[in-house]
A and B are shown apart, each in its own frame.
Chain A
Amino acid sequence: MRGTNENMWIKGFSKPTGRWAGLLLDIFVCALGAAMLFPFLWMAAISLRPGDQTMSPQLLSSFPLEWSNYRTVWETLPLLRYFENSLLVMATSVLFGTIVTICAAFAFTHFSFYGRKILLAALLGTLMIPEQLLLIPNYMTVAGLGWTDRYAALAVPWMTNAFAVFYLVQVFSAVPREYRFAARADGAKPSAFLWKVVVPLCKPSILTLALLKSIANWNAYLWPLIVTNSKEMRTLPVGLLALSTEAGTSYELLMAMSVILVVPMVFLYFIVQKHLVQAVPSAENLKNES
């Protein structure tokens, strides 16, 4: 008897009573997961309701689904244009931003140069400066360059990001030094070593970073709000903000717009999901660096 019991433990069940507790726990966590999703469920449900029924406390109501809400949003806002803007800004900013971040992190980890430590510390310090404080000086810079209301204003300022560089420094410093010596012995230039060895090795982390950057970029609303004047240059979140001031309490339209805003990122998440969990830097490296 004891023997079988021990075997059962090893397989992951504890005592016989533990199985019931485990099942209860399963149910509880599933419920919790559902609770996490709840606001999104409501969002979707309300977006399909007729305008005078948004306040009904029933989730699925008897009235027919009102797909026309989406058409109304489509007709009120130049959605295609916003979508295009959002996508273009996100793509350029994420692409160039990731390349710049990779180079910077590589310089920090694989070269020793004057002031390296100080620069890294300074970089860490900037992490604690609230982003909202940077809005005005960045706006002045952008206005000085005559970039207001242009794509450059939307995409360029947020290409560099202290957190991203810091994160990649942690990841890159985990690449064994021997690889570098080997690459040098084979006559590879540092740039070749970076793009052919380091980047492929750290691909999951870089993907995660790009995903986080995409999400942040896609959802950013304050900066696009400040630097754009004309309607044609707005991005999707700014469109939502504009709609919430214009449409006021038409919850069904606001929710429809929210769904439009959220769905692309959910897709993106599912596409890169399987790389995600293996990629956050362990606190191990973090400690070694400091």
Chain B
Amino acid sequence: MPAMMIVAVFGLYPVIQAFDLSLHVRYDYYRNLVFERGWDNFSFVFQDPEFRLALRNTLLLIVSVVPASMVASLAIAYFLHTRRLLSRWLQPAFFLPLVASVLAAALAWRWLFHTEYGLANATFAGLGLPAVGWLTSPEWAMPSLVLFSVWHSLGYNVLLFLVGLQAIPPQYDRAARIDGASRWPRFRRITLPMLRRVLYYVSIVSVVHAFMTFDEVFALFGGERAGPMDRALTVVYYVFRKFYSESEYGIASAAAYAGFLLVFALTLVQLKMSDRRGG
């Protein structure tokens, strides 16, 4: 019993403290806000064209990076799962982006994306396509960010899917194989349904991660602005800038809150879907 108390106290206290701190973030400023400005911050945030841009970009990231990364990583994980021999050598290639510092990785990508000397444009030239200002033109800022984010998030998803695939008992697949089912129907009718829970889990985690996109923007565009003409601004980058460089704590908290509610709603929808489908 005393041991239990010790565990509870030492184990829980920091968690409570950390949680308390995050409550402070929300409620202290929140209360200040009520005293001083009421709901003004929220209305300011929603009318701020910058925040709207950030929100739009974040949603764009969620609808592009999440499906792209999930489909690609599922395909890769399935491949690695079926080809054990190759898998041993290939796995590190997919996990390396997970391990490396975003700052360092983004430096390399900045070089690849260089308008004049970058490899991306060299390839384009080889294919007879015009050069593109990946990181310098406003239209290409988001596509570049999406590309980098997919690359960066792939490893983690592959890892999760690989674990999920390994948890499926191989008997079902073998039985179907004996019945003469070819690869695609086996994947579609057996593997995919058995992976349902992992799929939902990965989708939820991916949405939260995509919503939190900040490091990628910060590192890829050099940390001063969110891309050319701020075109790659995300919600968290907006929050960070309001907090860190403009010291607008109330507005930052309101923006964070708005974003938080959005993700929370999205997650609830996803959870409901997984419940209904019997996940």
Interfacial chain A residues near B14, Cβ < 8 Å: 100, 104, 159-160
Determine the distance from Cα of A12 to Cα of B83 in the docked complex, in whole angstroms: 9
Would you give the shortest CB distance from B209 to chain A, in whole angstroms? 11
B59 within 8 A of A: no
Interfacial chain A residues near B208, Cβ < 8 Å: 127-128
Which chain A residues in 64-97 approach chain B with CB under 8 Å? none
* Interface pair A282/B243, CB less than 8 Å apart: no
Task: Indicate with 1 or 0, residue by residue over B1-26, a CB within 8 angstroms of chain A CB atoms.
Answer: 00110111011101111110110111
* Interface pair A255/B107, CB less than 8 Å apart: yes
Max count, chain A CB within 10 A of own CB: residue among B15, B21, B102: B15
Grouping DSSP codes into helix (H, G, I), strand (E, B) and loop, the A interface class, with mixed when no group exceeds half, is helix
* Interface pair A9/B178, CB less than 8 Å apart: yes
Would you give the shortest CB distance from B208 to chain A, in whole angstroms? 6
A171 within 8 A of B: no
Interfacial chain A residues near B83, Cβ < 8 Å: 26, 29
Interfacial chain A residues near B180, Cβ < 8 Å: 6, 9
A254 within 8 A of B: yes
* Interface pair B182/A40, CB less than 8 Å apart: no
Max count, chain B CB within 10 A of own CB: residue among A10, A129, A259, A276: A129
Interfacial chain B residues near A37, Cβ < 8 Å: 93, 96
Task: Indicate with 1 or 0, residue by residue over A198-233, a CB within 8 angstroms of chain B CB atoms.
Answer: 000000000000000001001101100000000000
Which chain A residues in 144-183 approach chain B with CB under 8 Å? 159-162, 165
* Interface pair A240/B104, CB less than 8 Å apart: yes
Interfacial chain B residues near A40, Cβ < 8 Å: 96, 100, 105, 108
Interfacial chain B residues near A30, Cβ < 8 Å: 86, 90
A20 within 8 A of B: no
Interfacial chain A residues near B263, Cβ < 8 Å: 128
Residue of A nearest to B108 (CB): A39
Interfacial chain A residues near B236, Cβ < 8 Å: 130, 132
* Interface pair A269/B4, CB less than 8 Å apart: no
Number of B residues contacting the other chain (C-beta, 8 Å)?
94
Interfacial chain B residues near A103, Cβ < 8 Å: 7, 10-11
Which chain B residues in 108-128 approach chain A with CB under 8 Å? 108-109, 111-112, 114, 116-117, 119, 122
* Interface pair A132/B93, CB less than 8 Å apart: no
Interfacial chain B residues near A33, Cβ < 8 Å: 90, 93-94
Number of A residues contacting the other chain (C-beta, 8 Å)?
95
* Interface pair B108/A269, CB less than 8 Å apart: no
A57 within 8 A of B: yes
Would you give the shortest CB distance from B129 to chain A, in whole angstroms? 16
* Interface pair A190/B18, CB less than 8 Å apart: no
Given A132-B239, A261-B104, output 9 extra A-B contacts at Cβ < 8 Å. Answer: A29-B86, A33-B94, A103-B7, A119-B15, A130-B240, A130-B259, A240-B103, A240-B107, A283-B164
Q: Would you mind naming 30 contact pairs between A and B with Cβ atoms under 8 Å apart?
A: A6-B180, A12-B82, A14-B182, A15-B182, A39-B105, A40-B96, A40-B100, A43-B108, A111-B4, A119-B12, A123-B19, A127-B208, A130-B239, A132-B240, A132-B244, A133-B25, A133-B252, A134-B25, A191-B4, A219-B101, A219-B102, A221-B101, A244-B107, A257-B104, A266-B99, A273-B92, A280-B159, A282-B163, A282-B197, A286-B197
8 cross-chain pairs, A with B, having the tightest CB-CB distances, nearest first: A103-B11, A258-B104, A33-B93, A283-B197, A39-B108, A283-B201, A55-B117, A219-B101
Residues on A facing B (Cβ under 8 Å): 6, 9-10, 12, 14-15, 18, 25-26, 29-30, 32-34, 36-40, 42-43, 46, 55-57, 100, 102-107, 111, 113, 119, 122-123, 126-138, 141, 159-162, 165, 189-192, 194, 215, 218-219, 221-222, 237, 240-241, 244, 251, 254-255, 257-259, 261-262, 265-266, 268-270, 273, 276-280, 282-284, 286-287, 290
Residues on B facing A (Cβ under 8 Å): 3-4, 6-8, 10-12, 14-19, 21-22, 24-26, 28, 76, 79-80, 82-83, 86, 90-105, 107-109, 111-112, 114, 116-117, 119, 122, 151, 154, 159-160, 162-164, 166-167, 174, 177-178, 180, 182-183, 197-198, 200-201, 208, 211-212, 214, 218, 222-223, 236, 239-240, 243-244, 249, 252-253, 256, 259-260, 263-264, 267, 271, 279
